[in-house]
């Protein structure tokens, strides 16, 4: 054998040896085995993991466990305490409110909630959610309070106003008008005594009872005058009364004409609520001479319905490739204020020139009448008047039926 042939065979042998080692390397565990994937299926997890993977999993497991324990300890476990903190000399007191809650008719709502709401409104929400640890909780029998001695005195005064007049139900008069032009102030200026108002664009006055009657009679003679209702309200002391003057305005929200039902003319008719909602929450003072009241008004008006043409789907609405939907153009006004006035006076509130809570009347094109280019507007006036005790009052007009009155469709 020549030397050249010997070197040639030796080189071939070493080449075959290295190729075999490279091919059989995964079988000796130097690389993780490839997951077997059945035809059209998901990969199957390898049976054995490499030493490196086992080391990584054992290293991460304690870290993940520690992270979970840290999250649990910081978010849900909390630190137990044996007593409430009193860094600001807070004290715990319980007030008996059963003389009020057992007699008042709150129309299904928890009667103690009115006391809690008035305390929050009178003392301020921030004083119960600050660095001073505080508790305010009400049950049908008692009111639990944890706060500073100064705050306890304020709470006690409010509770006394409820409990001392627990059997009292008062009658209030509410008159709601709109005047087309605010120039009614010119003749009524000498009768009005201004009171401060925080809401922008809103004015309020105090009027003597006799002057209020004269003012309402004079306003009723105006051609732009409109009376939206004068309900008599029987209100338990401190409870809420809601009066609705609204109606439903239908409009076509969309058109249901799918391809499966050719020629369908079913319209998706939705409704919008427009009108006026007045909420009154009066609370008599301890000596019975002053009325504290929260007055809230919400006004919604549909100015017009803008018609939009949409193309019908293929195969639907035979002969009518287009159909119409309505897009509502709306305007709203909201007012929320607290007032205090002598019970022998009348509170008059003007919301300014706002949308009138009246329905829209359509006029046919054949009638040649001037049609206003904009929706109706007017100066909205509210007269709130305390009319005295009404313990056994049950009027014939149904004013003693409940705290929520609905005047749908009446304008």
Q: In this predicted structure, what is the pLDDT of residue 236?
A: 87
The confidence score (pLDDT) of residue 340 equals 95
Q: What's the number of domains the chain is made of?
A: 2
Last residue of a domain, one of 109, 140, 163: 163
CATH code, 100:
3.30.1370
Q: Are residues 106 and 194 in the same domain?
A: no
Is 7 inside a domain boundary?
no
| pLDDT of 260 over the 60 cut | no
pLDDT at 365: 34
Rounded mean pLDDT of the chain?
77
Look at residues 121, 144, 163 and tell me which one is the last residue of a structural domain.
163
Same domain, 143 and 215: no
pLDDT confidence of residue 313: 72
In this structure, the answer to whether residues 155 and 190 fall within a common structural domain is: no
Question: Which range, 7-21, 76-90, 349-363, is most confident?
Answer: 76-90
Q: Residue 18: its pLDDT value, please?
A: 62
Overall average pLDDT of the 211-239 stretch: 91
In a domain, 6, yes or no: no
Within this chain, do residues 102 and 221 fall inside the same structural domain, yes or no? no
> 225 and 205: one domain?
yes
Please check whether residues 233 and 188 belong to one and the same domain: yes
Same domain, 97 and 228: no
Does 370 lie in the same domain as 340?
A: yes
Segment 50-61 mean pLDDT: 50
Report the DSSP pairing between strands 169-179 and 377-389: antiparallel
Q: Is the pLDDT of residue 144 over 70?
A: yes
Judgement on whether residues 156 and 180 belong to the same structural domain of the protein: no
Is 22 within the bounds of a domain? no
Global pTM value: 0.68
311 within some domain: no
Q: Are residues 290 and 375 in the same domain?
A: yes
pLDDT digits (tens, 9 = 90+) for 375-410: 788 999 999 999 988 654 444 344 444 444 443 433
- What are the tens digits of pLDDT across the range 13-26? 666 666 565 555 55
- Would you say residue 10 lies in a domain? no
Instruction: Give whole-number Cα distances, 115 to 158, 239, 296, in Å.
Output: 8, 9, 18
Examine the fold and report which residue of 111, 130, 163 is the final residue of a domain before the chain moves on. Answer: 163
User: Does 319 map to a domain?
Assistant: no
Examine residue 316 and state whether it is found in any structural domain, yes or no: no
Q: Are residues 199 and 340 in the same domain?
A: yes
Q: Are residues 400 and 370 in the same domain?
A: yes
Better pLDDT: 286 or 205: 205
Q: Which has more confidence, 58 or 302?
A: 302
Domain that holds residue 355: 169-246+277-299+334-406
Q: Which of 45-54, 106-115, 230-239 comes out lowest in average pLDDT?
A: 45-54
pLDDT in tens, 60-87: 555 555 554 554 545 555 677 778 888 8
How far is 68 from 86, CA to CA, in rounded Å?
33
pLDDT of residue 40: 52
pLDDT confidence of residue 367: 37
């Amino acid at each position: 054998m020549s030397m050249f042939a010997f070197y040639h065979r030796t080189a071939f042998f070493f080449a075959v040896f290295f190729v075999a080692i490279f091919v059989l390397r995964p079988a000796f565990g130097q690389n993780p085995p490839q997951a077997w994937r059945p035809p059209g299926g998901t990969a199957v997890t390898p049976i054995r993991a490499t030493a490196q993977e086992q080391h990584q999993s054992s290293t991460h497991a304690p870290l993940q466990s520690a992270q979970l324990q840290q999250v649990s300890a910081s978010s849900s476990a909390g630190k137990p305490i044996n007593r409430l903190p009193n860094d600001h000399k807070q004290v715990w007191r319980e007030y008996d409110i059963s003389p009020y809650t057992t007699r008042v008719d709150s129309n299904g709502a928890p009667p103690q909630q009115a006391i809690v709401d008035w305390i929050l409104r009178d003392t301020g929400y921030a004083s119960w959610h600050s660095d001073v640890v505080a508790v305010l909780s009400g049950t049908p029998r008692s009111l639990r309070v944890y706060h500073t001695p100064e705050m306890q005195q304020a709470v006690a005064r409010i509770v006394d106003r409820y409990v001392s007049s627990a059997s009292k139900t008062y009658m209030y008069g509410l008159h709601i008008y709109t005047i087309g032009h605010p120039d009614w102030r010119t003749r009524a200026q000498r009768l009005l005594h201004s009171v401060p108002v925080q809401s922008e664009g809103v004015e309020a006055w105090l009027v003597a009872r006799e002057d209020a009657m004269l003012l309402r009679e004079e306003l009723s003679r105006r051609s732009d005058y409109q009376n939206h209702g004068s309900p008599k309200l029987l209100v338990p002391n401190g409870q809420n009364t809601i009066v609705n003057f609204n109606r439903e305005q239908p409009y076509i929200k969309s058109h249901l004409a799918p391809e499966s039902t050719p020629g369908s003319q079913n319209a998706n008719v939705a409704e919008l609520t427009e009108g006026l909602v007045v909420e009154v929450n009066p609370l008599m003072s301890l000596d019975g001479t002053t009325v504290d009241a929260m007055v809230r008004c919400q006004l919604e008006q549909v100015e017009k319905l803008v018609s939009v043409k949409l193309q019908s789907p293929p195969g639907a609405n035979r002969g009518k490739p287009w159909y119409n939907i309505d897009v509502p153009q709306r305007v709203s006004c909201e007012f929320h204020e607290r007032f205090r006035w002598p019970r022998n006076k009348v509170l008059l509130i003007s919301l300014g020139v706002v949308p009138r809570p009246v329905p829209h009347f359509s006029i046919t094109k054949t009638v040649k009448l001037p049609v206003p280019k904009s929706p109706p507007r007017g100066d909205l006036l509210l007269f709130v008047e305390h009319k005295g005790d009404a313990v056994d009052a049950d009027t014939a007009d149904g004013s003693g039926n409940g705290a929520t009155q609905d005047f749908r469709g009446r304008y």
